[in-house]
Chain A
Amino acid sequence: MKLNNRSLFPYPCLKSAPLEYKESVINFLINDSMYNLATNELQVYFSHNIESKFINRLIKEKLIDAYIEVYAKETNYLKYEKIIFLGRNKYINLDGIKVAGKTKLKMVLVANQKIENFSSAEFEFNDTYTVNKNNIVGFSNTVTIDVSSQNYYEKELISIFTITYNKDIITENYKVTLDGDKISIIVNKKETFDKLNQVISNMKYIPMVYQTLIIPALVQAILNINDESFKTNYWNKVLSIKLANTNLLGISYEKALLIAQILLKNPFNKMLDNIAELESRYEEFE
C-alpha cells in the first residue's frame, strides 16, 4: 500500500512528522549498502529513531513488530523484512536479483496482536482505540536507493583488496599476498601506510592508486586464479564471476594486464586527466 503522511488511520499512527502524535516521530536512515556479486546479496545498513516512549514500550512488550518494507518497482518486488532490535549495527540482507533499480525502503511498525487499550498521553487527541492484529501503527519516511549492479561494480571489485601495515615484511615498498580472503597489499613502513590512507581518502587520487597499486596486485591475482590453493578465497570467487566468459588457462602477463585494466575501467586515462586537472589548479594557485 502507498503510505504517506496524509494516510489516515482509525487510530493515531506514528509518522515521520508529528501529526496524530503531539511530538513523537519515527525516522529511518540508510547508512550504507554493499552489493556482493559472489552471493548476489545486497546488504543494507540502516539506523532508525523512534522518538516515542509509548511505541518503544509496546515494542519492548513484544506487542509491536518492526519491519523494513522493501519495494522495487522495476522488478515488481515487495517484501517485509522483520527487524530484531539487537545490536548497534543493524542491517538487512536483500536478494540482489529480485531487488533492482530504484528501490524504496521504509520502516513499518505492525501490531502482532490485538491491542485493546491503545492509548497514550502522546496522542494529539486523548482517546482509547483498538488496534487489530497486523494493523500498521507507525511508519517512517521513505528512503530510495538505486540498486544497480553497475553502481556496486567498482565498490565490489575494490572490496576484494585490503591495504595493511606489517613491519616484519621484508620488501622495498609493498608486497602482495593472495593467501587470505582478500588480496593484501602490505607495506612495512608506518609512514607509508599513513600516507597511503591519506591519499585513498581523496577521490582525485583514486585512479593513481588503482594504476600504481591495485593493477599490479590484480594482475598477480589473475595470473594465479586457477591455482587450486586459492579456489575458495573470496577474491577468487568474485574475480571468477567477473571473468566467467574469459579463458584464463595459461594466461600471459600481457593478457592479465589488459584484463586488469578493463576490469578497473582503464584508470590510466583517468589518472592522466586528474593529473592535468591538478596541475592546472596548481598553476592557477601560483
Chain B
Amino acid sequence: MKNLNRYNNIANSHLTMINLKMIKSLTNEKKIYDILHFDESVYESCDNVYSLLDSIEFNLELLKGIDNDYKCAKLLYENIVNIEKKDYLDIQFWNYLATDFLHVFTLAKLNTDGMSITNYKNKVLCKSIQNKDLFNNYLAKLWFVMNLCYDEKHKYKLAEFVFSNPQIIEVLFKSEIYLNQTFLKKLIVILFENKKNNITDKYLAKIYKEITIISEGSVIELFDYEMIYEII
C-alpha cells in the first residue's frame, strides 16, 4: 500500500505536467504525440534532469525507421552513455525522459490507441528503480539491458543476443537474479557462447528454477564461469 501511494505520488506529479485530460482526449483521437507538451513549471522541479538533458545530443531524426528494440537500445545507449550514476539511478530521469524529451519516441514505440491512463502510466513511468518496475519502462529497459551487456570484449553482441530473446529479459532481468549483476553478466556470456540458438521458454524456466534453488544457500554473485556453466 505504501509503495502504491508512493508510485501514485510520483506518477501524479509527472502526469499533472502533461495534463491528464489532454492525454485522454488525444489518445482517443490518436494524435497524442503531435500535441503532447509540458507546462513550463515542471522545469523548476526537475532542474537537475533538465540541465542534464541539455547536455545530451539526441537526434530524433535517427529514430525514424528503426523497428527493433536492439537498434533503439544501441542508439539510446550511444547517446546517453556518459550520464552519471546518480542520474541513471534517478527514476525522475527516466520518467522525464519518457514523458518529455523522448516522448515522441516512447509513444511511437507503444501502441497508445485506446490505451487507458493507468496503462499509459504503467508503460511509460517507472514506479521505482526496482528492476520489476524499471524494466516496464520502455526507455529504461533498453538502457539498463544495454548497460549490463555492453563491454569492450563483446561490444554490442551480448545486447543483440538478449534483445533477440526477449524472454531473457522477462525471466532473468525482471527477477531477483538481476540484483546479482556480476552473476547475470557471466550467465549471459555463457548463454551467448554456448546456447545461442537453443533459448526456449522452457529452458529459461529450468535455469531460473536451478538458480533460485542454488541461491537459497549460496552467494551466487561470487560464482565463477565454471560454476555457472554447470547450472546451464
Task: Name A residues whose Cβ lies closer than 8 Å to a Cβ of B.
Answer: 1, 7, 9-10, 67, 69, 71, 73-80, 95, 97-98, 100, 108, 110, 132-136
Q: Is the interface of B mostly helix, strand, loop or mixed?
A: helix
CB contact between B215 and one of A1, A71, A77 (< 8 Å): that residue: A1
Q: Report the minimal beta-carbon distance from B185 to chain A, rounded to whole angstroms.
A: 14
Chain A residues, CB < 8 A from B218: 110, 132, 134-136
For A71, A76, A98, A135, the residue with the greatest tally of chain B CB atoms inside 10 Å of its CB is: A76
**With A79-B221, A80-B221, A134-B219 already in contact, 4 other A-B pairs whose C-beta atoms are closer than 8 Å:** A73-B130, A74-B128, A100-B89, A132-B218
For B219, list chain A residues within 8 Å (CB): 67, 69, 80, 108, 110, 134, 136
Which residues of chain B come closer than 8 Å to A133, judged between CB atoms? 227
Inter-subunit contact B215/A76 (CB<8 Å): no
- CB <8 Å contact, B86 and A135: no
Task: Provide the residues of chain A in CB contact with B223, threshold 8 Å.
Answer: 134
Q: Hey, which chain B residues are within 8 Å of A79, CB to CB?
A: 221
Q: CA of A110 to CA of B220 in the docked complex: distance in angstroms?
A: 11
A77 neighbours in B (Cβ, 8 Å): 179
Residues of B contacting A73 with CB < 8 Å? 130
Contact A78/B85 with A1-B216, A133-B227, A134-B227 known, Cβ cut-off 8 Å: no
B217 contacts which of A10, A71, A97, A98 (Cβ < 8 Å)?
A10
**B4 located at the interface, meaning its Cβ lies under 8 Å from any Cβ of chain A in the complex:** no
Would you call A134 and B222 a contact (CB within 8 A)? yes
**What is the chain B residue whose CB lies nearest that of A98?**
B85
Q: Is the CB of B217 within 8 A of A9?
A: yes
10 contacts between A and B (CB under 8 A): A1-B176, A1-B215, A9-B217, A69-B219, A75-B89, A78-B179, A80-B221, A98-B85, A134-B219, A134-B220
Cα separation A76 to B222 with both chains bound (whole Å):
18
Chain A neighbourhood of B217, CB < 8 A: 9-10, 135-136
Q: How far is the CB of A27 from chain B (nearest CB, A)?
A: 20
Q: With A95-B85, A135-B218, A136-B219 in contact, is A75–B129 under 8 Å at CB?
A: yes
Contacts of B220 in A (CB 8 A): 134
Residues of chain B within 8 A (CB-CB) of A67 are 219, 222
Bound-state CA distance A236–B231 (Å) is 52
Residue interface mask B82-96, A partner, CB < 8 A = 1: 001110010000000
